């Protein structure tokens, strides 16, 4: 993944935009993002990130939680890149 400039930084507390709703679709075995005009099927990483956006925890907290849960390191670039994409799509706000 390439790093993209974002207005969302490690100290921000992003949340989903009110227009969108994250939901697990058992039939598809995937997270989906629902909105009035349609639906976006997400990969598992995107679902793991978006389900943690509560507007209360920082991006750094989210990264720390993901790194601990998945026994991974250096997830910050990928998480920030995804959040930049999600922000451009209008799914999240900082």
Full set of structural domains in the chain with CATH? 15-89 (1.10.10.1150)
d(CA 94, CA 80): 12
Inter-helix orientation angle 59-69/76-89, to 10°: 130
Neighbours of 56 (CB within 10 A): 8
Model confidence over 24-62: pLDDT tens digits?
999 999 999 999 999 999 999 999 999 999 999 999 999
Q: What pLDDT sits at residue 38?
A: 95
Could you give the 3-state DSSP secondary structure of residue 3?
Answer: coil
Q: What pLDDT sits at residue 22?
A: 97
Q: What pLDDT sits at residue 7?
A: 82
């Amino acid at each position: 993944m390439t790093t993209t400039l974002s207005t969302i930084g490690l100290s921000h507390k992003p949340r989903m935009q009110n227009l969108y709703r994250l939901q697990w679709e058992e039939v598809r075995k995937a997270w989906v993002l629902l909105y009035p005009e349609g639906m976006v099927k997400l990969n598992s990483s995107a679902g793991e990130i978006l389900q943690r956006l509560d507007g209360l925890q920082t991006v750094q907290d989210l990264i720390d939680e993901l790194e601990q849960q998945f026994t991974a390191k250096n997830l910050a670039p990928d998480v920030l890149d995804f959040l930049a994409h999600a922000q451009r799509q209008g799914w999240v706000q900082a």
